[in-house]
Structure 1
């Protein structure tokens, strides 16, 4: 029986759960599960941050799915598959400490789980049209990732 490798993908304007993402990739065939949580920090490049907002292009969720499909294909190798992956990204206003992104991967072995998890977050950040508007303690702000 073939099980879809992408078990959870989404953009949400409500808090995202690590437990939901990790649960979504649970698979009895998996010997390793890896996850990454990106949180809003109180500083960036030596400057204090008070909060931020994420905006996404209407195609962002479809682009996340495309990235996830490629990561699964690229990191499954030598009969050691990545069984399941999940990714959630927040949009809207976030406060310091909020979860901004959660990715998870379950694979036959830990190396593939780690590789897939790292590729997921790196490729989502590099390829998916999601932009961050960061507010600083001095009162100014900047866009990150906008072209």
Structure 2
């Protein structure tokens, strides 16, 4: 399951979705809004996405992870809009029969998502704002 939402991300729903009797491992990655960047206080983040293209790319990444590792189920959810400090911006959940595949697939998904998916982050500071280069 892949999605983009403006609503808070529900980690319990993600767990229920990826949970399966055939999986002995479930890994989660939560990308959260931190309160500073390079010791500069962050007030909030704003995310924008090209939804249709982002969802297509997210599905391609998930499909690749399923081919490379023994993934039984997965969830990839990215939030957009205004996010406060502590909010979950992205959640990746992966279930596999064994932990090594779960860790590897989860890491691959988040690393590739950050490199390839058209989702942009703006950091809002007390004294200004900056778009973060998500695709260096």
TM-score bracket, normalised by the shorter chain, equals over 0.9
Aligned-pair Cα RMSD in Å: 1.2
Q: TM-score, normalised by structure 2?
A: 0.93
Specify the SS of the correspondent of 1:11: strand
Residue 11 (structure 2) aligns with: 18
Residue 89 of structure 1 pairs with residue 89 of structure 2: no
Q: Which structure shows the bigger proportion of residues in helix conformation?
A: 2
Question: Where has structure 1 moved over 4 Å in runs of 4 or more?
Answer: none
Distance 1:146 1:119, change over 3 A: closer
Map Cα deviations across residues 15-44 of structure 1 (whole Å, 9 max, x no partner).
111112121111110011100111101001
Q: Distance in 2 between matches of 1:18 and 1:118?
A: 18
Which of 94, 100, 106 is 1:111 aligned to? 100
Unaligned residue ranges in structure 1 (runs of 5+): 1-7
Larger radius of gyration: 1
Unaligned residue ranges in structure 2 (runs of 5+): none
| Number of residue equivalences | 134
Residue 73 of structure 1 pairs with residue 67 of structure 2: yes
Q: Does the 8 Å CA contact 1:71/1:116 hold for their aligned counterparts? A: yes
Q: Does the 8 Å CA contact 2:31/2:90 hold for their aligned counterparts? A: yes
